[in-house]
Structure 1
Amino acid sequence: MCGRYYIDEETAREIRNTVRELDERLWRDKLGYDVYPAKQAPVLLKKGNRLTAAWQRWGYPGFSGNKVIFNARSESVLEKRMFYEGIRCRRVIVPAAWFYEWNRSKEKITFQRMDLQVMFMAGFYSSFEDGDRFVILTTRANASVRGVHDRMPLILERDQLEEWVLNDRAVMRILEQRPVLLKKLAEYEQQTLF
């Protein structure tokens, strides 16, 4: 090959279009499924001074066997040695359409935002031998989730996304916030009569 080549505006436009098309095909092939611990999922993270998307595995390796640690409590995350570097330096946003919880009767309940089609959950990641892995932060359940479970994801508002990932000074305030109320959906839920 020669020792020099040239890229003009049209070449740059074609590169962007080609990358966008390949990226959309990759996302289309991977999406449309339930994400469970140890599975790959998209996250938004810091690259330079901006947000970018990446695929990471959900859950840190557990202490025994093939178990994973996939949640961290927002109230104590800064005290946990295992999570300290991740929460301080490698925060992520975990986008989702909804999340599930199971009630005491083992019925699956779906929770989603009332005002947006996408929910953004706060998380962080660390690097391991098999790649980067993320954990989702949880907080005390608000009134919309409390009847099903005592914990729920720490949900970010759209205007907090860059702040969560890029602004170290905002972390404590966001860790202490109460998430927005959610819509509760159930295919079937046992009703108790008194």
Structure 2
Amino acid sequence: MCGRYALTTTPDDVLNFVSVALVEDFPPRFNIAPTQPILVVMQSERPDPGSNLPDRRAFLARWGFIPGWAKDPKDLSLMINARAETAIGKASFRAAMRHRRILVPASGFYEWRRPEKSGEEKSQPYWIRPKKGGLIAFAGLMETYASADGSEIDTAAILTTAANRSLKRIHDRMPVVISQEDFTRWLDCRLQEPREVKDLMTAVDDDFFEAIPVSDSVNKVSNMGAELQLPADDVAPLPVLRPKPKPDDSQLSLF
């Protein structure tokens, strides 16, 4: 899953990464949590004829998806993630998958490795970031919820998929990362139907991320400093990642 992440770069870096005309100024955020406003990028409905950039706009949305058909959000569970394997057909996300796919810029995310057996030590948080550094973009979905009093709020969820071999040592789910060369395909809801971007909703390569054990200070939403990403001391190493087994060529196939 993805329940905490960070965006610690400058607005100019985000602007250049996602190719939008304008990104409002914002401070580095080292501990972004559910229900907070998050920066998202969406295909623009009104292209700027004077711009050479792709038709995209950046804006803030509440991290916690509310389907348009919901009568009272208080009756719903907080939907911060959507499973990539089922989002196309699930009632809560079907319309957004077809019409409102977004990107969520990030510097990385946090994940907790749970104890394998009862009685073991508490969960260990990890700061997971690209090995090569720089920004990434999570695949997301957006819905504008209109309440009974006429007010509207943009809401968002991050898509997750089965973790790759490397991160499976920490958790069985991970956010879907959209490559920069695939931004246009993912955001183009007019020409690209959900089934045509299904191939993008998979895990990144095993060596894309590095996982750094950090202190449990990140558990508290009120802790928001850069020290959250400092490596923690005296943390047991992750299980050894064994190489993938090679196909057995010793026996001939009947086919």
Normalised to the residue count of structure 2, the TM-score between the two structures is: 0.60
Q: What whole-Å deviation, never above 9, does each CA across 1:101-153 have from its counterpart, x for those lacking one?
A: 00113111011112341011001111113411011000000022100000000
Runs of 5+ in structure 1 lacking a partner?
1-22
The answer to whether the Cα contact below 8 Å between 1:51 and 1:162 also exists between their aligned partners in 2 is: no
RMSD: 2.4
Q: Per residue, is there more helix in 1 or in 2?
A: 1
Q: How does 1:69-88 map to 2 (within 5 A)?
A: 69-88=79-98
Determine which structure has the larger strand proportion and give its number: 1
Please tell me whether residue 137 in structure 1 is matched to residue 134 in structure 2.
no
CA distance in 1, matches of 2:141, 2:36: 16
Give the counterpart of 1:108 among 120, 125, 134.
125
Q: Does 1:51 align with 2:56?
A: yes
Unaligned runs of 5+ in 2: 1-21, 48-54, 67-71, 115-121, 147-151, 215-231, 240-255
Change (3 A) 1:168 1:155: same
- Residue 32 (structure 1) shift: 2.5
1:68 corresponds in structure 2 to 78
Change in CA separation of 1:106 and 1:66 when aligned onto 2, cut-off 3 Å: farther
State the partner residue of 1:168: 192
Q: How many residues align?
A: 168
**Secondary structure of 2:154's partner?**
strand
Instruction: Name the counterpart of 2:174.
Output: 152
Tell me the residue number matched to 2:213.
186
Checking the alignment, whether the CA contact within 8 Å between 2:174 and 2:203 is kept in structure 1 is no
The 8 Å contact of residues 169 and 238 in structure 2, kept in 1 or not, is answered as: no
Q: Which residue of 1 aligns with 2:222?
A: none
Q: Secondary structure at the match of 1:137?
A: strand
CA distance in 1, matches of 2:37, 2:76: 16
Residue 120 of structure 1 aligns with an amino acid whose one-letter code is A
